[in-house]
Structure 1
Amino acid sequence: MGLAQIVRTGWYREVAVKGLDGQLVRALITTRAQLVAQRVDLGNQIRGLLKPFGLLAGKGVGKTFAEKVRSLVPEGPAHDVTEALLRAWEAINKEVATLSRRLVSEARQDDTVCRLMTAPGVAVLVALTYVSTIGDPTRFPHSSSVGAYVGLTPRRFQSGETDHTGRISRCGDRLTRTYLYEAAGIILNRVSRWSTLKAWGTRLARKIGHKKATVAVARKLAVILHRMWRDGTEFRWSNKEAAVTAP
């Protein structure tokens, strides 16, 4: 949500260029995701190192993770090991920030990405990953096909008299599917403004459970984003505003 706010308010400005280089954006997104995973792994290693000493690196008010850890660890062998891990963590964190700023720049330069970000839960990473994965919206004659393309439709098993629905197929791009799922979770849990999509997902959660409802909202969001892209429209929050409802 922070990256999206930077884009919307114009805090980060750079000379605009025409079009979105899908391959470059994809490389930036993938590299950032890999670095974030490494940062998380290092953070867990540091916490695991401190735990036997009874030290918990929780959230410190006004302090970064590195500052919190350094305030806990006294001088000695544990300090040397922890400091080595912290320096690596800080170096990765710096690169993540650099790539995040670059992605903000790429998002600001593309009208489609900015339009998709009018949808709740859709920030820079979601919009850029979605656009770079789909590429050309016209290759999907029906918006409903996008859900299957990114692997968010349930598998169906049919054999003789057996006919039941299984888990989602998980076909297609994993990052796109992951970010759409995260966006759906934000819509259901963190976005305070009600929309037709949020209301539908909330009702569904009461019937089938929160996790399955989040997947369903992610699938529906993928369909809505495609329709917005193809029609050149912004997100419509209510049925009165919506020209077309996603299936």
Structure 2
Amino acid sequence: MLLPPKFVKAFRQGQKTDANDVLAIASASQAYNVKPCKIMTVEEQTLQSLSQARTLVDKQKTQLSNQIRGLLLEFGVVINQGDAALTQVVPDILEDAENALPIALKQALAVSYDLYKTQCDAKAQLHKQVEAITKQNESCQRLMALEGVGPIIAIELLSFLGNTSQFSDARGAAACAGVTPTQHSSGGKAKIGHIPKRRGNTLRK
């Protein structure tokens, strides 16, 4: 039986040692509300790894974009939002020999912009790979038939939900996907809130 690390951590007493970890695992395994983790298949692990690789590339692309905009903003150069505006303006700025930007800044921006373009190409390549997999996977095709579910969300759902045999009901699967509302109950009164942004497994766009 595999136990979630976050669940086991609540049972650990004292510092993190092998002995304390063993005691925490033993205590957590006896808890009435323990929910074991399912063992992922090779296919599910592959889909999850592909999604995580794409997410990292997209995050790094955004970071580079924000850095370039921020550095230029310090010198009074404002770039509109969007990748198209960035790719249209930055090359002209780097090639313009008459602007007041220091040479050292232009050299640093050129390095960051080359990295940005590399990440854009990597993201496009990974996205094509995701689309190719979803076209060949029957389960992904059924998930994409749902409103609002595209290739990325379909792969995410399939990777951690699997064949759903580990869930006793639909609510358990919904909770794992993070689409259940928050609840605060006290004194016999239950207060149901909204669906939080971060709950369960956060789906990546």
What is the Cα deviation at residue 93 of structure 1? Answer: 1.4
Determine whether 1:127 maps to 2:159. Answer: no
Query: Aligned runs of 1:115-154 on 2, under 5 Å?
Result: 115-154=142-181
Determine whether 1:46 maps to 2:68. Answer: yes
AA partner of residue 43 (structure 2) = D
What is the Cα deviation at residue 59 of structure 1? Answer: 5.8
AA partner of residue 25 (structure 1) = L
Q: Is the 8 A contact 2:164 2:173 kept in 1?
A: no
Counterparts of 2:191 and 2:133 in 1: how far apart (Å)? 43
Percent same amino acid among aligned pairs? 24
> Structure 2: which 5+ runs fail to align?
1-40, 98-102
AA partner of residue 113 (structure 1) = C
Counterparts of 1:100 and 1:60 in 2: how far apart (Å)? 19
What is the Cα deviation at residue 138 of structure 1? Answer: 3.4
Could you report, residue by residue, the CA deviation over 1:42-61 in whole angstroms, capped at 9, with x for unpaired residues? 10000001112222222689
Q: Using structure 1 for the length normalisation, give the TM-score.
A: 0.56
Counterparts of 1:160 and 1:118 in 2: how far apart (Å)? 42
- Count of residues in Structure 1 that have an aligned counterpart in Structure 2: 158
Q: Which residue of the partner structure matches residue 88 of structure 1?
A: 115
Q: Which residue of the partner structure matches residue 92 of structure 2?
A: 71
Counterparts of 2:82 and 2:119 in 1: how far apart (Å)? 20
> Structure 1: which 5+ runs fail to align?
1-18, 180-247
- Max radius of gyration: which structure? 2
Q: Is the 8 A contact 2:79 2:85 kept in 1?
A: no
- From 148, 151, 155, the equivalent of 2:182 is 155
Counterparts of 2:119 and 2:54 in 1: how far apart (Å)? 10
Go from structure 1 to structure 2 and tell me whether the alpha carbon gap of 1:60 and 1:124 turns closer, same or farther (over 3 Å shift).
closer
Query: Aligned runs of 1:1-247 on 2, under 5 Å?
Result: 21-58=43-80, 65-73=86-94, 74-75=96-97, 76-160=103-187, 162-166=189-193, 168=195, 170-174=198-202, 176=203, 178-179=204-205
| Bigger relative contact order, structure 1 or 2 (CA pairs below 8 A, ≥6 apart) | 1
Q: Give the aligned CA root-mean-square deviation in angstroms.
A: 2.7
Go from structure 1 to structure 2 and tell me whether the alpha carbon gap of 1:120 and 1:154 turns closer, same or farther (over 3 Å shift).
closer
AA partner of residue 72 (structure 1) = I
